Every structure is written in structure tokens, then in C-alpha cells.
Structure 1
Amino acid sequence: MSGQKIKLKWDFRGPEANQTAKHFLTHLIEFLQKENLPHYNKKSCQGLEQTSTYLCSVFLIIELKELTFFKEHLKPHRAFYEKS
């Protein structure tokens, strides 16, 4: 991957936040495989971030040029510019 990167995030809240986020990450990986996007299927490009007992997020780092595709298909909750 090269160029400007964007970090997409999906937030999960509540006592089952971690389990729900893990389940979502499984489906995210399946989506990347189905859409033939193996360059995003690396540990450095996707994963979990647990903020607290009741907040867990899934992230995916993408290239800016593919932002529209991911927004339309996966509807992330938040997005940030990722530092290189």
C-alpha cells in the first residue's frame, strides 16, 4: 500500500463488546477475501483495539482512493487520517 491512508473504525459497546468486535472482525476478513483484497488482510492493516471493558473497536487501514468503496459496503462508524 502506498499513498495517503485512512483508518476506518467500528465501535462496539457493552459487556459483550469484545466478543462482538471479534465476531465482526471475522466477517471483515471474510469480506476482504471475497472482494479479492488480500493486501488488507494483514495484521498491520486490521485488528481490535480495546479501550475499556465496555468499548472495543475494529479497525481497517485503507488507501484514500478506496474510501468510497469501503464506506458504501461496510459503513464504518468513524474514519481518521493515518500517520505513515
Structure 2
Amino acid sequence: MRKLKLIWDFRGPNAHKIAEHHEIHLKQYIQLEKLDILITGIEDINDNHSIAFMVVNESNMPSVRDALKPHRGTVFTE
């Protein structure tokens, strides 16, 4: 099954800290909804741009997308 990486972008001098905090909320959502999602994380794109992300199965994407409103997504490759 194809996996999708849902991405939330944060920009500015506090982007890294905001992305770290957002990942906490992503993990809480996974627990509350009892989802089979094991991959979350943050990445620094540059000093003023960081992302938080979660990887979902394509079949789960519509419900997660509608609930959490990611900024964008891409196909996940390991």
C-alpha cells in the first residue's frame, strides 16, 4: 500500500520550536484516534523554515487530511 507524507510548514525565527510542538500534537492525535501510524518527525529546511510531518497509508489520508489540514503532501519513500 502506498504511503503519503502529510506536511505542515512553519516559517520564521521560531520555526523549529513550533514544528517540534506541532509534532507533539500529531502524536496525540494518533493516540486519540488509535491510528496505525508509526512515522512522525520534523525537518529543518533552512534557518527560517521547518516542517512537521506524519506518514499515513493512502487509505487513511482523506480522514486525517480533513481533520488536521496539512499544508501539503507527497508520496513517502523510505
Letter in 2 for 1:52: N
Are 1:52 and 2:46 an aligned pair?
yes
Letter in 2 for 1:82: F
Are 1:26 and 2:28 an aligned pair?
no
Residue 82 of structure 1 and its aligned partner are, at CA, apart by: 1.5
Letter in 2 for 1:7: K
Unaligned segments of structure 2, at least 5 residues: none
Alignment of 1:1-84 (within 5 A): 3-37=1-35, 39-40=36-37, 42=38, 45-84=39-78
Q: TM-score, normalised by structure 1?
A: 0.87
RMSD over aligned CA atoms reads 1.0
CA distance in 2, matches of 1:36, 1:65: 15
Unaligned segments of structure 1, at least 5 residues: none
Q: TM-score, normalised by structure 2?
A: 0.93
How many residue pairs get matched? 78
Q: What does the per-residue CA deviation read over 1:52-79, in whole Å, with 9 as the maximum and x for residues that have no partner?
A: 1100001111100111101110001011
CA distance in 2, matches of 1:62, 1:27: 15
Residue 31 of structure 1 and its aligned partner are, at CA, apart by: 0.8
